[in-house]
Amino acid sequence: MKVLLLYFLFVNCFTFLLTGYDKFQARRHKRRIPEIVLFLLAFIGGTIGLLTAMFFFRHKTAKITFIMKFSYIILVQIVVIYLKMTQKI
């Protein structure tokens, strides 16, 4: 259980920092982090880190397509968690 918590802590911190870096690069008109990388990190457990970074850095909050795709990832995660919790294991 500790390993799982450490994993989620690491993934969320990394996602938060990478999103902040992307915002920094956007302001400087430099090379950006591809959205697919941010989505992949959210999908593998960095959802809280990405959501927190979006509000903290005010990044990607006005981009409707990004928010829709991110919402889909959150929905998939909720369904997976629900299905896992309803199993009698």
* Rounded distance between C-alpha atoms, residue 42 and residue 19, angstroms: 11
Q: What is the mean pLDDT of residues 62-87?
A: 94
Q: Domain of 58?
A: 2-86
How many domains does the structure of the chain reveal? 1
* Rounded distance between C-alpha atoms, residue 82 and residue 34, angstroms: 30
Give residue-wise pLDDT tens across range 25-56. Answer: 999 999 999 999 999 999 999 999 999 999 99
pLDDT for 89 beyond 60: no
- Enter the pTM of the model: 0.90
Mean pLDDT, all residues of the chain: 95
pLDDT bracket for residue 88 (50, 70, 90): low
